[in-house]
């Protein structure tokens, strides 16, 4: 066996072991989520019942009891959200790839995300390639990637900034660049940003970017960080072109 063949065999073995490990983690995650979600749902239901009783007795919504109950409900909701992210990482759904007009897809997501940008006075600049080559993506899963990167950009800016979403068509790939003019990441954090459970946020799960990178890699692409400390940060998605793509009744090739 040649060195190149040996390397490919080793890479296949590593990929197989990774898939086996993820499948095992997925099985554990499903059981764990079930055991945790049931009591969480019970907690939330009982909180709502008690809130209803307080309202019926005419107790004000800003009373100490009502405030404490609201805090319990928010914590239960946050734990449910963490479970959802953990399951998304451990047991990703099967991808349904569709040939997609990237400009239209991104425009729709940016329109959907616009209220959050307005709330923080963050402007969004769109710089899309003309007539981009269609790429095959799972629209539902890829939505998680784009929205996660947009939310990270808004959080990095805080208030009164700008996000630039740009696409480019290269010889063998299409790229999406989501850049902010926040302060960027500290160099020591930039090295860990894609690690599972690493987060610079006070209440972050550390799963968002790990999930985003895994989804991009399952599309055959790459997700990279272009960090500019003091100036901002950009996440760049590289998606491979297909040889042939059927799109809107036509077949395009490159």
**What is the CATH classification number for the domain harbouring 9?**
1.10.287
Q: What six digits make up the tokens of 240?
A: 């491979």
As a whole number, mean pLDDT of residues 108-119 equals 94
235, 223 Cβ separation under 8 angstroms: yes
Q: Examine the pLDDT at 254 and tell me if it is beyond 70.
A: no
Q: Examine the pLDDT at 30 and tell me if it is beyond 60.
A: yes
Say whether both 105 and 71 belong to one domain.
no
Q: CA distances (Å), 204 to each of 76, 122, 177, 211, 233, in order? A: 15, 21, 23, 13, 18
Q: What is the pLDDT of residue 248?
A: 42
DSSP 8-state class, residue 204: -
As a whole number, mean pLDDT of residues 20-43 equals 72
C-alpha to C-alpha distance for 24 and 187, rounded to whole angstroms: 34
Say whether both 55 and 105 belong to one domain.
no
Q: What is the pLDDT of residue 242?
A: 64
Q: What is the pLDDT of residue 189?
A: 78
Say whether both 156 and 225 belong to one domain.
yes
Mean pLDDT of the chain: 81
Say whether both 106 and 145 belong to one domain.
yes
pLDDT tens digits along 46-95 = 988 998 888 888 877 778 888 888 889 888 888 887 777 777 666 666 78
Q: What is the pLDDT of residue 251?
A: 43
Say whether both 126 and 197 belong to one domain.
yes
C-alpha to C-alpha distance for 123 and 161, rounded to whole angstroms: 6
Q: Which of 92-101, 172-181, 193-202 has the highest mean pLDDT?
A: 172-181
Q: What is the pLDDT of residue 123?
A: 94
Q: What is the pLDDT of residue 154?
A: 92
Q: Which of 90, 116, 131 is the last residue of a domain?
A: 90
Count of domains for the chain: 2
> In sequence order, what are the residues at sequence separation of 6 or more whose Cβ sits closer than 8 angstroms to the Cβ of residue 228?
184, 234
Q: Which of 90, 106, 138 is the last residue of a domain?
A: 90
Q: Examine the pLDDT at 243 and tell me if it is beyond 60.
A: no
Q: What is the pLDDT of residue 236?
A: 95
Say whether both 162 and 191 belong to one domain.
yes
Q: Which of 41, 70, 90 is the last residue of a domain?
A: 90
Q: Examine the pLDDT at 108 and tell me if it is beyond 90.
A: yes
Say whether both 117 and 239 belong to one domain.
yes
59-73, 137-151, 187-201, 237-251 — which is least confidently predicted? Answer: 237-251
Say whether both 20 and 123 belong to one domain.
no
Q: What six digits make up the tokens of 121?
A: 């006075």
Percent of the chain with pLDDT over 90: 26
Q: What is the pLDDT of residue 6?
A: 74
Q: What is the pLDDT of residue 75?
A: 87
Say whether both 37 and 68 belong to one domain.
yes
Domain containing 29 equals 3-90
Say whether both 130 and 157 belong to one domain.
yes
Higher pLDDT, 82 or 170: 170
Say whether both 37 and 102 belong to one domain.
no
Given pLDDT bands bounded at 50, 70 and 90, which one contains residue 31?
low
Say whether both 23 and 107 belong to one domain.
no
Given pLDDT bands bounded at 50, 70 and 90, which one contains residue 244?
very low
Given pLDDT bands bounded at 50, 70 and 90, which one contains residue 206?
low
As a whole number, mean pLDDT of residues 141-164 equals 91
Which CATH number does the domain housing residue 168 bear? 3.30.565.10
């Amino acid at each position: 066996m040649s060195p190149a063949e040996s390397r490919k065999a080793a890479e296949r073995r590593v990929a197989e072991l990774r898939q086996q490990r993820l499948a095992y983690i997925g099985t554990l995650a499903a059981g764990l989520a079930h055991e945790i979600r049931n009591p969480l749902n019970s907690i939330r239901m009982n909180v709502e019942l008690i809130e209803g009783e307080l309202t019926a007795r005419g107790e004000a919504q800003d009373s100490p009891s009502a405030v404490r109950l609201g805090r319990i409900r928010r914590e239960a909701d946050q734990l449910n959200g963490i479970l959802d992210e953990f399951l998304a990482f451990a047991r990703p759904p099967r991808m349904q790839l569709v040939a997609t007009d990237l400009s239209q897809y991104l425009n729709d997501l940016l329109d959907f995300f616009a209220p959050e940008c307005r709330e923080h006075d963050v402007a969004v600049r769109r710089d899309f390639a003309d007539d981009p080559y269609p790429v095959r993506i799972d629209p539902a899963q890829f939505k998680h990637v784009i929205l996660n990167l947009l939310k990270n950009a808004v959080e990095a800016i805080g208030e009164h900034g700008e996000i630039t979403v740009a696409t480019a068509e290269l010889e063998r790939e299409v790229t999406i660049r989501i850049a902010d003019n926040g302060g960027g990441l500290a160099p020591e954090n930039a090295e860990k940003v894609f690690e599972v459970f690493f987060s610079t946020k006070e209440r972050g799960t550390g799963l968002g970017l790990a999930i985003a990178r895994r989804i991009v890699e399952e599309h055959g692409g790459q997700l990279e960080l272009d960090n500019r400390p003091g100036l901002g940060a950009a996440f760049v998605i590289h998606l491979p072109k297909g040889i042939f793509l059927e799109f809107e009744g036509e077949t395009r090739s490159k």
